[in-house]
Amino acid sequence: MRRSVWILILAAPIVLAAAQLVRDSWGFTASAAQAPTSSTEVKIDNFSFGPAALTVAAGTTVTWTNRDDIPHTVVSDDKAFKSKVLDTDEKFSFTFTKPGTYSYFCSVHPKMTGKVVVQ
């Protein structure tokens, strides 16, 4: 093969990696656990919250959506928030204004727990 082709092949991963670094620093591919975004989703399914641990910035609105075939609730341990019962496809949203760790559970099935860490 020609040398120019070899150089291109070797250079490609370096270029791609550099591009990824740039994208990360600009927040284009931020994931919920690393860089807070303005709205975040928690999916309720199979008697569990997903993700079970979520990190968001203060001022973020988190929305829980029940995809399970059984109703669930979202109730914080310290009474900061409490949803009404959510049947399948129903949602509950809460805006976290103050930093802190908010543990919550399903009051109907208390073994289901999760937390939101607000930075």
Residues contributing to the site for other proteins (CB under 8 A):
46-48, 68-71, 73, 77, 84-85, 87-88, 103-105, 107-111, 113
- Tokens for 54, please give them: 């979520």
Shortest distance (Å) from residue 106 CB to other proteins: 9
Indicate the residue among 24 and 77 with the shorter CB distance to other proteins.
77
Count the neighbouring beta carbons within 10 Å of the beta carbon of residue 88.
14
With contact defined as beta carbons under 8 Å apart, do 64 and 44 qualify? yes
Distance CA 23, CA 20 (A): 5
Shortest distance (Å) from residue 118 CB to other proteins: 18
Shortest distance (Å) from residue 85 CB to other proteins: 4
Indicate the residue among 4 and 69 with the shorter CB distance to other proteins.
69
Indicate the residue among 48 and 65 with the shorter CB distance to other proteins.
48
With contact defined as beta carbons under 8 Å apart, do 60 and 93 qualify? no
First-to-last alpha carbon distance for the chain, in angstroms, is 53
Shortest distance (Å) from residue 46 CB to other proteins: 5
Indicate the residue among 22 and 70 with the shorter CB distance to other proteins.
70
Cα radius of gyration rounded to whole Å, the chain: 20
